[in-house]
Structure 1
Amino acid sequence: MTKRLLIIAIAFFAVLGNLIAQNVPAKKKEKYTYTMYTRVYQKRLMEKPDKVKDTALMKLANSYYFIADYENAAKVYEILYQRAEEKPGFDVPPEYNFRYGQSLRAIGEEDLAKEKLAEYLSESAANAVVQTTRVYEIQDLREYFSKLKDSINLNHFSDFAPAFYKEGLIFSSDRDTGNLHRYRHSGTNKDFLDLYQFEYDEDSVQVISKLNFIGNGINPREAETTSIKVDESTVTLSSDGNTMYFTASNFKDGELVKDQDNIVRLKIFKAVLEPEGWRIADDSWYKNQNGDKAFNSDGYSFANPALSPDDSRLYFTSDMPGSKGLSDIFMIAVDENGIRGKIDNLGDRVNTEFRESFPFVSKDGKLYYSSDRLGGEGRLDVYSVDLNANGMVASVSENLGKLVNSEYDDFSFIYDSEKQYGFFASNRPRPNDSGRKNAKDFSDDNIYAFTAECLNPKTLTGIVYDKSTLLPLAGTTINIISDDNEIIASTFTNEEGAYSVSIDRNKNNFVRATREGYTPAEEYLEINPCELRMVDFYIETDCVDYGTDLAKLLGLDPTIFFDFDKSEIKDDYKDELDIVVAAMELYPSLKIQVNSHTDSRGPNSYNQPLSGRRAKATVDYIASKGIDINRLKYKGYGETQLVNECADGVRCSAAKHQKNRRSEFLILCEEGENCCY
């Protein structure tokens, strides 16, 4: 590439066209849903708590929660988590901590509520799925870019990789150093990269000082005894400004170091500021007993150093073993004496099979980096991701959108989250650059500056879909709910299933989607005044087709525990039937048909009446509990509807045969209509 510098100041703006939410009422139906489940299993939990299955207990807790019975919800969530502690392999999904916390908060248990909500935030971030495709446009994610300020075309050289330093920047450039001896790349006839510094006004982000060359102490070309040709670039500085890490061609004792393939790799060097200027440190800072021996090894490249705000971690790019792609971003602990511990790969939510590079960590705990993964705007795009307290990835990677990213290379993004301005480099066309023909016609790298502005409150947008059909759902209620479980804003999805609602990002809220005949869904909206989010919902229907098995809706075991060749009700089966009875007691309009099936052992002429006797025995048991016999039908199918391969002449285990000895409890409503439960 040939490269040039252009500093342009940009501000964030926010313009969203509000969607007009339309109220499309749902068809009125008899609704059993969570109230049914709650009432049935409330009775079961009180009478025989050990008989309530894990899945039933989870749904019971949610049933109380979604009908706003927070006291009972908290009790059942407590039982649920106690069971999870005592039962290996039983993991409660993260969202249950959120609902448990909200229930506790509603009944005044604030301390435990905070604990559960904190666990939810930690677990949900840790379990996030990597997002490697771009997320629409920048307005869907975070601040907006605004009008361009007056640009300053400083030069026609290549300038990139800015780093904050005191009241200005240090950056890399291939400009003429002004020295008597100039060293140029033979292929490009461009000067080797050096480091420069300038100051700027924080209010206008305009350059206010001349450029200062940083040489001598860290640049071997400036030594009188050597003519070594070395590039320096990508700098990071400690918070006190006295320690610098930078990328350079691998050299030692005035000589370039080549690997076994005769290639000069990139390495990370350390320099310290002394009264007479910068002095490069010896290699003891990474060659020590406490650090990973693989760091800065000669066989691979190590580049793009980036310190965490507290100077405790060093992020960098490398193609070392363990990389997922052409280059990955890694992290290692560091202190004033050097590196410590093992190198950590940042994992799949950052690194891909492509090229990740140019990391930067902002003061608010975000990692910005560039990647040429698929799904971006062009070549290198800038992405961001949240970091946890251990410096590892805690969220999904997000593409910063079209006003940062272009069809060209966009990289070395840095941002001061307190002062709300930053810089990045790009080889996109300059204003009025008529010489650029296409994305392969690269110009010089330019540095762009921007200022950020937050607008609050923000608008939350999204679309609600049916989880099964993936069709948008019009008329779905969207509620914004406060930490005190009070509805503070409400709207409906329009004909396209879309919604738009204003929220105050300086307050903790959560958004809930509810629709008759569907299971409610919600998402927590943590305080974050400068991020705009889209929240899409995929909600599951509670409506079922005619003939759906009630036993499955209630989480019952479909297997009938009849003894072989018998039609008497076993005690274990009675426990299951009692739950069906409870449902029919609570919902007098509910009608069912009991279908019984046998295994294939014995002739069908015998099995057919046997299944009929079993179906009748089941109906008789339900009726004996006070259920009107007119609400009950039954039919025996014998061995005509086997669920596995165990037909006549096939040898099967007793367990497999038992799976065919089963009953179904089919819900009867108007045929062709949906039944809602």
Structure 2
Amino acid sequence: MKQSRMHKITVGLLALGFWTGISQFGYAQEQPSRQQRAAQLYENMEYANAAKAYELVVNKDNPDVEQMERLASSYLYINQYALAENWYARIVEHEKASEQSFWDYAEVLQLQGKYSEAKIAYANYQKKYGDKAEISRAIIGTDSALFWMENPSKHVIMNEQDINTSLSEFGLIPTSGGVLYAAEPNSLLAEKSGMTGQPYLKIYSATRNDDGSLSYPNVMPDSFNESPFHLGPIVTDAKEEVLYVTRTYPGKQVEKYRANGQKWRKQNLELKIYRKQENNWVEEDFAYNNVKEYSVGHAALSTDENTLYFSSDMPGGNGGVDIWFCSKQADGSWGAPVNAGSSINTDGDEVFPSVFDNLLYFSSTGHVGMGGLDIFQARGQRGNFEKPKNLGYPVNSPSDDFSFVVVGDNLDENFGYLSSNRQGGIGADDIYSFRYEKPKITVTLEGMTRDKKTGESLSFTTVSLSDETGKLVSTSSSDDKGAFSFDIDRNTAYLVLADKAGYMADSVSVPGVIPQQDTTIHVVLNLQPVNKVGEKFVLENIYYDFDKHNIRPDAAIILDKLVTTLRNNPTLRIELSSHTDSRGSDSYNKKLSDRRAKSAVDYIVSKGIGADRLVAKGYGETRLVNKCSNGVKCKEAEHQQNRRTEVEVLAF
């Protein structure tokens, strides 16, 4: 099968470089004919000029098939899809039509969103030239495109009309002061590319407004924006002190060879690095440029800036243009290029990488897509990525969609920019902003209230929900089976407290969660009965530091539960007994436990509970709960278990 054409000019520059041809057979004795002139322009890849020339050549009753194919091909390269379709429709009816024309006809139908017609054309190619992987992928793409368009994502796409023109704008990156991007200058004086028929690309800046819209475009006046050929796209580090600029190599050390009776020069792309020094930019070469053999461009930095991704057709790839990466070395230099792997790269082209957190975004012609370049997302880093996901419609379209960059992300949405030459735009390539409203994810807190002593459910128990500042959010009551539930917010911590007459309140802290799907959190609140004289229990998790009697913050939370219980049970009277570990003398520990018991009682009284309802009692080390008596070596955690406070019901 013939190779799929790189109709995207900016990608074509990366895949093919900037070509110039010098005919081996000059026209010394006479001016070239109209046909010879058209052929020369086509071989030089000056497709915009070639299309004009071939229109004059084929303007006759029985035009030559090869000439019509070159005209159609030129229109395809410069994204004039409707004109290309018109000619290919005539060509494929001709018995001398080439294999490439049958493929291009199907492709140009797909690029215009004519998926049913494209599927028929691909099937016709398949019948004529055999079943191949590329054909199967293309046919699947036509079916997938229809599905994606019937089931669009929640992305809202907006054309940034204040910076887009009738020419090309693409490859946006955000900066602290706005944005940078590549664009064709709208100037009559600008030097023009024979390939596109438009001015060579330059780097522009624009203002990014609070709502994400863009305005006030200006060509950058800096030294990095000076080159006779294409410049862009561009990327910068977080401090905006280092720039990585893609440009067409402007020098004479080019790739040279002979083909079709001509000598060829291939001006490949290179990656230039510019470092800020005071008010100037100092230029340096990317260590792995090799303009005599291949192109390098489309740089992107990982979030930690220790990995540099880029696109290249250097040897060792999977085919076409691949995404590669370099790792930053200890001395700050970039290590040798490594291919990003077969999960990302295909026998097609993978270009325009960008990174947000641990997600790599890129565009591809080799994965199943809607047509042209499609935008994909893959989780991972360096050479270890999960299977890429096509972002579907409306991020992607039948045409070329690329330069996808996420600027911000929160729980409710993410937003950023992409570039596309889709129908309905202002110019050839336009910059679009996008916003994606994330699906509403519910978090439910479900719980049970139980009698701590018997384990049985406690019905009709009051349950309150507070935020981490103590502010009451909601109250509820468990049902006849002891069950309750609350709808809670994502990424928010809560305290759940249950209380019931005749029981000591219980509470549990619920940390904030950020789930990826609807989530239910389960809790159990065990309430200690206090409605029987002589009932004894330990206030769990009330501990004291060694040789101290002050109330720690973690102990205050537990004592607050007891305060709630005393308020809700006004006839309840209790003894608070304090216990120490075995370290220290017996008499000292007795005095220390008295101070600790009194400290706990004083804390409760400070919360408004009458002192006559509380008795403080210190038992020292006379009631140890483990083996850690005098002279026994124990861990600190074991000693802390003995430093505790117990409650005994004296009256109810």
Q: Which has the larger radius of gyration?
A: 2
Name the TM-score class by shorter chain.
0.3 to 0.5
- Which structure shows the higher strand fraction? 2
What TM-score does the superposition give when structure 1 sets the normalisation length?
Answer: 0.41
Greater RCO between the two (CA within 8 Å, min separation 6)? 1
